[in-house]
Chain A
Amino acid sequence: MTLAAVATAAHATTTTAAGTHGFLSPTGVEIAFLLVGLVTLGAAVITVTTRQLVHAALWLVVALGGLAVEYLLLTAEFIAWVQVLIYVGSVVVLLLFGLMLTRAPIGRSPDADSGNRWVALAVSVAAAAALVWVVVDAFRTTWIDLDGAPAGSTEVTGASLFQHWVLPFEALSVLLLAALVGAIVLSRKAKADAAATPTTGTRRDTEGAR
């Protein structure tokens, strides 16, 4: 799915949404959302089930990218681009570094899942059933009007962020600094064998704190 297609689809939905909103007569935006959502969910499921560790990271890219598209469909442009930049651009790269530094096996590893798998499946299916049931029960008639100006354009987001959310924003910078220092401290080796991988650690930290 190209960016242009996403943009046109978003434009179409914002213009045509009106009248009765039944689930059996979906709008175009809804169809696009459903399709992208299916892709995203599928990628996420593969991420948590595949036996190839590196593939898991790559499927994570697909899932996060799909989420970025969903943001766009919800007219939250800025967050969509931030998602692409930070998650797809840095977090996944960081995770790949981590995989390599821990010498994760390339190819199928038979013991990617722990013995806890079935319990985990039961818990997550139960949680999913409960959540879906509650959410559908609560919001089955709620309608999002996507017409008009985008709700999350860079201008709107920036205005609210620097008008109403300045103080948390600044506090967040302190948190990031703390994370930076913490990552350095944690990854520093004991003095006896402080030689092997200080450079990679430092680089990873700076990227993570970005």
Chain B
Amino acid sequence: MTTTTLAVLVPLLPFLGAIAGLLLGRTAPGFVRPLAVLPTLVSLGLAAVVAARQGGDGAVDAATELTPTGSVPVELALHIDGFAALTAVLVTLVAGCVQIYSTGYLRDDPRYPSYAALVSLFTSAMLLVVYSGDLMVLLVGWEVMGICSYFLVGHYWETPEARAASLKAFLVTKLGDVPFLIGLFALATEAGSFRVTRILGAVANGGIEHPTLIALLLLAGVAGKSAQFPLHTWLPDAMAGPTPVSALIHAATMVAAGVYFVARLLPLFEASQAAMVVLAVMAAVTMAGSALAALAQDDIKRVLAYSTIGQLGYMTGALAVADRGAAVFHLLSHGAFKALLFLAAGVIIHAAGTNSLAAMSRMGHLRDRVPDAYWTMTVALLALAAIPPFSGFFSKEAVLGVAEHVVTGHTEHAPAAAGWIVLLAGLVTALLTAAYAMRLWLLAFRGYGAEAPDHGRQPLTMTVVLWVLAVPSLALGGLAFRVLPDWFDGHDLTPTLTTSVLGTGVALVGGIVTYATWRHTTAHAVSRVPLGAVAAHPEGDAGLVEAEAIASHQAAYGDIASATDPSDPGRLLLGPLHRHAAAGFHLDAVYTALFVRPVRAGASLVRFLDREVVETYVRGAGALPRWLGAAVRRAQTGNLQTYVSALLAGTVVLAVAVVLVATGA
């Protein structure tokens, strides 16, 4: 089979699996699990073959025009370069792990068939985005992901949090998609094509007249999808979905799509200095803000969600300094260790019966209950904190190294201001990242107090994938930073000495300070007030435990994001900032004031107009025929003589009229 055929099969197989799963879900439940897992795994193999055949050489391009559109043609096109090939491998790897993990995680869930089919569809849509060489086709995958995320985040729709979160995810990403769509149309109009290759050609020839406008419009969509400030608010709330869905959305698919899109069209963004600076500012605000917020969260998954936002900030920062190689490198390593973090967090939530770090810190020996999760999560957290030699170190140093290059003026692609912004924000974020990773690890695994409840062994499907993902988290960076430039643009990804020392130094400082704070807070035993609500379901599957934990968090702690735990090191570290950071710096309140209230007011105005004004006309229009009808009904007496009288009177009138007309009078 040619590479093109294999590449077509990669997104097609999960799609067919999704269709078959939806169709057979009720009639043949036995086929659902194979139908969910096997197509994704086959796609993984095919994607690996495609990547091996592509091998970093010239991009594989294939296109067929479906039907003439009359203006800019829409083509079913493939454009597989090194970025696409490797990203597809990551997507299928994470999706395969998530599917296997889900069979254990949701083993008793009655809605598992539709869930698995939607995950397959989600994977397929992401692969379409990755491989597509036509922006319209890419948009199809982009929107399918949006709707799938709506359904998957709302999987526990019995809880109000999940319903609100799924709606929020949908609306916020769509808010970014509107300017994105306009930007796509503007881009295609100016370039004369939706094909990536032709657009890049037009950019190279200077054929784009308004690069800044188009780039900014596209950035709005990217910010929505990749959860960048100011459209990131949906992502922490999306934690109301099942943990495997969080892993899928955060590691490989939805949020990666935005970064990947910018990486694909990076020359377009480079054409506009303003767009690059905006991108850099966006990345810096996202990085630093989300790291601060992560330090204040109580829900373990919300910590990871904010850390995702921060790591995405690193990727957009790399793009802002015009190095997509570093961005996609970080995307790959982050995909591996973030999927691992989420899946391990799912195991911990199942074992602890709660998603609250405050409650976990009051459980002794939680790490003995889940040794697999403990070890793999330690690896992943070290990767997240960018401690050498874990993979996160290499990818993050690549980003910082590129920023340093730009600052010292070694490249002309990006403005030096962007370099400074990214570099400084990256260093601050490295410090904070190490701090919240340390806090998470300490609170989850070094708790004191009553024995953790015994929920039995985790299913094998849930623990094996952790080790599978631990391998790339541990080794991907160190092995790949020499090889990857061949696949990418050729920029060197080797860590530079300055940034390595700086980055690792601040990370170590962050970790040590957090540890010291933790020792200080836990030493004050008086502050160890009992706290927490634990949903204990020894027989239930992990999904049930998690759904109850999410539903009970607000009731137990008064807030969905934070808990009033005095022994939390994050509280001491952040000081007065803690309250604001826990609430995500009140961005939701700002949105409420800016958008929700005006819309509500407008809606009530419309309702008033409809009820009082339009309805009056409607009632008037109804009343007149009713009165006429009542009058006519009165004439219907049932007395034949009346009828005949009327008939004959009419006849006489007609006859007289006819005679008058006939005689010409």
Contact = CB atoms under 8 A, between A and B. Distances in A.
Contacts of B659: 130, 134
Contacts of B523: none
B663 to A, nearest CB: 8
B589 interface: no
Interface string B642-665: 100100110010011001000000
A79 B639 CA distance: 37
Given A130-B655, A130-B656, A134-B659, A123 B641 contact: no
B301 to A, nearest CB: 85
B648 A116 contact: no
B642 A119 contact: yes
B652 A123 contact: yes
A172 interface: no
B642, B649, B652, B656 — most chain A CB neighbours (10 Å): B652
A120 B639 CA distance: 13
A127 B652 CA distance: 6
Contacts of B642: 116, 119
B645 A116 contact: yes
Interface size class of B (residues with CB under 8 A): 10 to 19
Contacts of A120: 641, 645
Given A130-B655, A134-B659, A123 B648 contact: yes
A163 B639 CA distance: 46
A126 interface: yes
SS of B interface (majority):
helix
A198 B301 CA distance: 99
B641 A126 contact: no
A114 interface: yes
B12 to A, nearest CB: 79
Interface in B237-289: none
Contacts of B639: 114, 116
Interface size class of A (residues with CB under 8 A): 10 to 19
A116 B659 CA distance: 28
B255 to A, nearest CB: 85
Nearest to B642: A116
SS of A interface (majority):
helix
A114 B644 CA distance: 14
Interface in A34-61: none
B652 A126 contact: yes
B246 to A, nearest CB: 83
B645 A119 contact: yes
Contacts of B648: 123, 127
Contacts of A119: 642, 645, 649
Given A116-B639, A116-B641, A116-B642, A123 B655 contact: no
Contacts of A130: 652, 655-656, 659
Interface string B619-655: 0000000000000000000010110010011001001
B637 to A, nearest CB: 10
Contacts of B656: 130
Nearest to B653: A126
A123 B645 CA distance: 7
B664 to A, nearest CB: 13
B635 to A, nearest CB: 12
Interface string A91-127: 0000000000000000000000010100110110011
Interface string A167-201: 00000000000000000000000000000000000
Contacts of B652: 123, 126-127, 130
Nearest to A116: B641
A126 B646 CA distance: 13
Contacts of B655: 130
Nearest to B663: A137
A127 B647 CA distance: 12
A126 B645 contact: no
Nearest to B640: A116
A122 B650 CA distance: 12
A148 to B, nearest CB: 35
B657 to A, nearest CB: 10
Interface string B219-233: 000000000000000
Contacts of B645: 116, 119-120, 123
A9 B652 CA distance: 37
Contact of B649 (A114, A126, A134): A126
Interface string A60-74: 000000000000000
B74 to A, nearest CB: 76
Contacts of A122: 649
A125 to B, nearest CB: 10
B639, B649, B655 — most chain A CB neighbours (10 Å): B649
A119 B645 CA distance: 7
5 closest Cβ contacts across the A-B interface? A116-B641, A119-B645, A123-B649, A127-B652, A126-B652
23 contacts: A114-B641, A116-B639, A116-B641, A116-B642, A116-B645, A119-B642, A119-B645, A120-B641, A120-B645, A122-B649, A123-B645, A123-B648, A123-B649, A123-B652, A126-B649, A126-B652, A127-B648, A127-B652, A130-B652, A130-B655, A130-B656, A130-B659, A134-B659
Given A123-B648, A134-B659, 6 more contacts: A114-B639, A116-B641, A116-B642, A119-B649, A122-B649, A130-B659
Interface of A: 114, 116, 119-120, 122-123, 126-127, 130, 134
